[in-house]
Chain A
Amino acid sequence: MNEIKEKDKNPEDLSEDMKVLDDLTTSEYKWGFITDIETETVPKGLSEDVIRLISAKKHEPEWMTEWRLKSFRYWKKMEEPHWPNVQYPPIDYQDLSYYSAPRKKPLLNSLEEVDPELLKTFEKLGIPLTEQKILAGVAVDVVFDSVSVTTTFKETLKEKGIIFCSISEAIQGHPELVKKYLGSVVPYTDNYFAALNSAVFSDGSFVFIPKGVRCPMELSTYFRINASETGQFERTLIVAEEGAYVSYLEGCTAPIRDNNQLHAAVVEIVALDDAEIKYSTVQNWYPGNKEGKGGIYNFVTKRGACRGRNSKISWTQVETGSAITWKYPSCILQGDNSIGEFYSVAVTNNYQQADTGTKMIHLGKNTRSTIISKGISAGRSNNSYRGLVKIGKNADGARNFTQCDSMLMSDKCGAHTFPYIEVENESAKVEHEATTSKVGADQIFYLNQRGLATEDAINMIVNGFCKEVFNELPMEFAVEAQKLLAISLEGSVG
């Protein structure tokens, strides 16, 4: 947390933070409960019929059904990638259900129509959906299993011409925009999981900020997996027209289940001339238990295209959950002077595995990118940074700065760095720095000697290590991220 923010807070808040930290350091995964709600789930298995069924349930137009089928046919010819530095037993794609929805859901016009069980679930997760209770300045879209439950503040945003709704609604209400941009950054041919997602994606968020508009509030989507043996495949599309600005937040949790669950999302973002998009994620999918049983397989493709001149896309992620994370939020810097940023904290504990990083593809002139990656490994976990910086032949004056820091918290964990650098233009400047450190007994004793208990000392050291990334997060998220870190690393040094 930076100092200005600290000074603004009064001491009651600070002690409140500490109290929360105390609570959290003594608890396990808190979001692991299951909501008992009547759902409509399509039978297990994947075929053209299932895809047609999903598409029909969502009353999709013909072009959408066709696009799904094309993706599916392409996916069938592909092979699952095995290059990431992670291990897991083969996934039986026919043993999963691809669609699950709360049964009472039909079309919702107001919050009063939301199933009270669902409202209770989100209250429990700390996400009140009643608008007057929502923290000022955050509009929320909520995706429960396969469908978007509700989007708040829709009307306020509409006045500015901003569209913030579920992708299903966008397909119905704004087909021209969806057609124009869907698959334009991540085509269905891109990779195995992107192809699968394109075939079966259920819901997700759609954001459109028209020319010259600065979105007046943070937009936030909360993803929740509830049903068992169901894959979750969201699709998010964000478009900022010329001179537009938006800050978008994404959070996720899932119940504790013994079997692994597949989550394969695709996020595409497009920034036109002078537009800026800030995308922040706090990913807290169920990581599995201490013995490594259960947990989410998080195989996600996130990519942004800086299409316009002077455009900027900034990814900030705090990854604490999932049994396996496979994720590389990337920027294609097409427009001259465009800027790509990637700030990441990835924490792995127990038997978690993460292979995460970014790709910065410099195509335009004077494009700039910054990569700050902080990996924290504890327990028997494995944490890899994998990143590509590519400078195309026309990218005169392109610059990249990469910093990869790893922190080890036990003797049995692993930290790996796989940086790939491809430079085709002589005027480019690419810098790469990497460090590996261990939380030392001497650091802990130093803080102990100043009156801090060992858990608090570790939290302080780890938060300091992640500071550059936390500074990029909106305030509310930064606090949440710190708490999550505390729980994720509970009892990991001792």
Chain B
Amino acid sequence: MLTIKNLHATIEGKEILKGIDLEIKAGEVHAIMGPNGSGKSTLANIVAGNEAYEVTKGEIIFEGKELLEMNPEDRAREGVFLAFQYPVEIPGVSNATFLKTAINEIKKYHNQAELTPKEFLSLMKEKSKILGMEEALISRSVNVGFSGGEKKRNEILQMLMLNPKLALLDETDSGLDIDALKIVSNGVNLFKAKDNAVLVVTHYQRLLNYIQPDFVHVLYNGRIIKSGGKELALELEDKGYDWIKPELVESETVYRS
């Protein structure tokens, strides 16, 4: 579904990603872990098309298409979804207007019929329930006056509504208490299917207790320095990141699935 080859990227002239290779197949859940500043969020943002970053080398193939040649809205319409680490507030625009517009833009792109208001409302009700969100939310402005936890839940609600092929979750667990973490994870687990994929970017192993990854990658200083199964996450939790660093010197292990 997604193939990243030798990706290099900079922000304001500073190199953040120094050659990333990654392959994600349909039906898989991948986790990217790593210390602060290792480039985890950058990677997710670049796949989604954030123009604050400059890609200097490499390519990203999504469903056979060259993603780097597409603008962010077309990437979204093709099925790339980013759950933001810091969701943005849009005052005066209700969640309903926002989501209905988003869904219908994507439908239009695929020459599909737009949702009727009735279909939209029942979909919204169904998905809000999964995330334990009140119905009043539908008429509230996007993320305005939401707590940190509510914003993160709202991201997952949007993911469920838009039903993308590839969901990039950028530190969705940060700022969540244990109950909210369970609810959000449940939402992601319900989303998981044979024909989609999830990339979880996280700092902590905690989230991975609830969302079981098939593969774990450790990102350090702009490179993936180790890849493994879900047991790697537990090992990291136990020993921190330092123990892998020496391995870096011995071999530039790059994981390919």
* Chain A interface residues toward B at CB < 8 A: 1, 3, 6-7, 9-11, 14-15, 440-443, 445-454, 456, 460-461, 463-468
Contact = CB atoms under 8 A, between A and B. Distances in A.
Interface in B101-125: 101-106, 109, 114-117
Interface string B123-144: 0000000000000000101000
22 contacts: A1-B97, A3-B94, A3-B97, A10-B117, A441-B52, A443-B90, A445-B50, A446-B87, A446-B88, A448-B49, A448-B76, A449-B76, A450-B102, A451-B76, A451-B102, A452-B102, A460-B97, A460-B98, A460-B101, A466-B92, A467-B93, A468-B92
A311 to B, nearest CB: 30
Contact of B51 (A14, A445, A452): A445
A376 to B, nearest CB: 13
Contacts of A440: 88
**Interface pairs A-B: 6 shortest CB-CB:** A464-B92, A464-B93, A467-B92, A448-B72, A450-B102, A451-B105
Given A10-B117, A11-B116, A451-B162, 20 more contacts: A1-B97, A3-B96, A9-B117, A445-B49, A445-B51, A445-B72, A447-B90, A448-B71, A448-B72, A449-B72, A449-B75, A449-B84, A450-B102, A451-B105, A452-B73, A452-B102, A453-B73, A460-B90, A460-B93, A467-B93
A463 B93 contact: yes
B87 A456 contact: no
A114 to B, nearest CB: 41
A463 B92 contact: yes
B194 to A, nearest CB: 24
A451 B52 contact: no
Nearest to B78: A451
Contacts of A1: 97
With most chain B CB atoms within 10 A of its CB, the pick from A15, A447, A451 is A451
Nearest to A3: B139
B82 A449 contact: yes
Interface of B: 48-52, 71-73, 75-77, 81-82, 84, 87-88, 90-94, 96-98, 101-106, 109, 114-117, 139, 141, 158, 162
Nearest to B105: A451
Contacts of B88: 440, 442-443, 446
B101 to A, nearest CB: 6
B66 to A, nearest CB: 18
Most buried by B among A448, A456, A465: A448
Contacts of B87: 446
A404 B27 CA distance: 51
B73 to A, nearest CB: 5
A461 B106 contact: no
Contacts of A3: 94, 96-97, 139
A7 B117 contact: yes
A443 B142 CA distance: 11
A18 to B, nearest CB: 8
A15 B114 contact: yes
A464 B71 CA distance: 24
Nearest to B161: A450
Contacts of A446: 84, 87-88, 90
Nearest to A6: B97
A246 to B, nearest CB: 29
A471 to B, nearest CB: 10
A15 B103 CA distance: 13
A494 to B, nearest CB: 12
A445 B48 CA distance: 9
A449 B86 CA distance: 14
B256 to A, nearest CB: 28
Contact of A450 (B50, B92, B96, B158): B158
A450 B76 contact: yes
A463 B141 CA distance: 12
Contacts of B114: 11, 14-15
A473 to B, nearest CB: 14
A392 B90 CA distance: 39
Contacts of B101: 452, 456, 460
A454 B49 CA distance: 13
A440 B97 CA distance: 20
Contacts of B75: 449
B60 to A, nearest CB: 15
